[in-house]
Chains A and B, each alone.
Chain A
Amino acid sequence: MSIPFILFFICAAAAVLGAVLLIVAREPIHSALALILVMMSLAVLYLLLGAEFIAAVQVIVYAGAVMVLFVFVIMLLNAGVEVRTNYSKIAKYVGVPLGFFLLLEVAYWMWGSAVGTTVANGAGAVNADAVSTVDLSNLLFRDYLFPFEATSILVLIAIVGALVLAKKGE
């Protein structure tokens, strides 16, 4: 049992725990925290996989911006304990079981599909052969320039849309 394994299992456990908490928690704010936990552990996993930049972005954007937004909204709307209504029987008796089934199914096939393929070398050492941010940016700003710009426009639209909606809300 080497350090990367230990790290991996800790983070994996944390992530799954967080996911479960997200589901079972009744307070939205608790769910938010659980999700943040998931994200942080995922960031560590990214580090394990040598994707430093992505890890940082994950924390900054997801944990630092998106989730703050969520928390902010929860606080703003003062969202209290969730009422477990069951107007939709089908969701209760079909959806949830099927969801779990999907979980097992995908997991099974993932396992079967990727057995054997292992991370190229030394996934443990975070700094060892980490993906250089330079290469990533080259890829991003040369080969994927158009998608990048398209995304930026998408974001702009999202900003405008959010503003409009918020205004209407008042």
Chain B
Amino acid sequence: MSVVPVSYYLVLSAVLFGLGVVGFVFKRNIITIYMAIELMLNAVNLAFVAFARAHGDLAGLVYVFFVIVVAAAEAAVGLAIVITIAHNRRTLNVEDVNLLKF
């Protein structure tokens, strides 16, 4: 069976990451912004796994593991915050949550 070059995976992860960034800037809904962040994390994970595979080094996978765990924690806290915001401000639009400024 022939082989998929690592660069393919890397490019894919780059594309996903970029899309995540775009979403991060483009979206207005706090929850979807969180999702964009998760997307970026996933892209990075893909790069990790690809490299781990390319260099035959399992450490990459360990990092992915940690990334996933941290992402889970972050989602938990983040969503709790989102709920609080929604309860207090009655909105999920980040552009309406802008009291903290000059």
A107/B42 in contact, CB under 8 A: no
B13/A110 in contact, CB under 8 A: yes
- A interface SS class: helix
Produce 1/0 per residue, B1-44, CB < 8 A to A.
11111111111111111111111111111011011101100100
Chain A residues bordering chain B, tally (CB within 8 A): 95
A10 within 8 A of B: no
Q: Which of A91, A113, A139, A158 has the most CB of B within 10 A?
A: A158
Residue from B23, B74, B92 within 8 A of A158 (CB atoms): B74
Instruction: Determine the distance from Cα of A65 to Cα of B3 in the docked complex, in whole angstroms.
Output: 33
In the bound complex, residues from chain B placing their C-beta under 8 Å from that of A114 are 5-7, 10, 54
Produce 1/0 per residue, B28-67, CB < 8 A to A.
1101101110110010011101101110101101101110
B31/A45 in contact, CB under 8 A: no
Closest to B59 in A: A139
B68/A62 in contact, CB under 8 A: yes
In the bound complex, residues from chain B placing their C-beta under 8 Å from that of A86 are 95
- B interface SS class: helix
| Size bin of chain B's contact surface | 35 or more
A124/B2 in contact, CB under 8 A: yes
B72/A107 in contact, CB under 8 A: no
Residue from A39, A118, A147 within 8 A of B5 (CB atoms): A118
B4/A103 in contact, CB under 8 A: no
In the bound complex, residues from chain A placing their C-beta under 8 Å from that of B77 are 158, 161-162, 165
A74/B76 in contact, CB under 8 A: no
Residue from B14, B53, B86 within 8 A of A123 (CB atoms): B53
**Chain B residues at the A interface, C-beta cutoff of 8 Å:** 1-29, 31-32, 34-36, 38-39, 42, 45-47, 49-50, 52-54, 56, 58-59, 61-62, 64-66, 68-77, 79-84, 86-88, 92-93, 95-96, 98
A-B contact pairs, 9 of them (CB 8 A): A5-B4, A45-B46, A54-B45, A77-B83, A84-B28, A114-B7, A119-B5, A119-B50, A170-B87
Q: A73-B31, A83-B28, A159-B76 are in contact. List 19 more A-B contacts (CB 8 A).
A: A16-B12, A19-B19, A23-B27, A23-B36, A28-B29, A57-B65, A58-B45, A70-B34, A73-B82, A73-B83, A79-B29, A87-B98, A99-B21, A102-B18, A103-B22, A111-B11, A116-B7, A119-B6, A140-B62
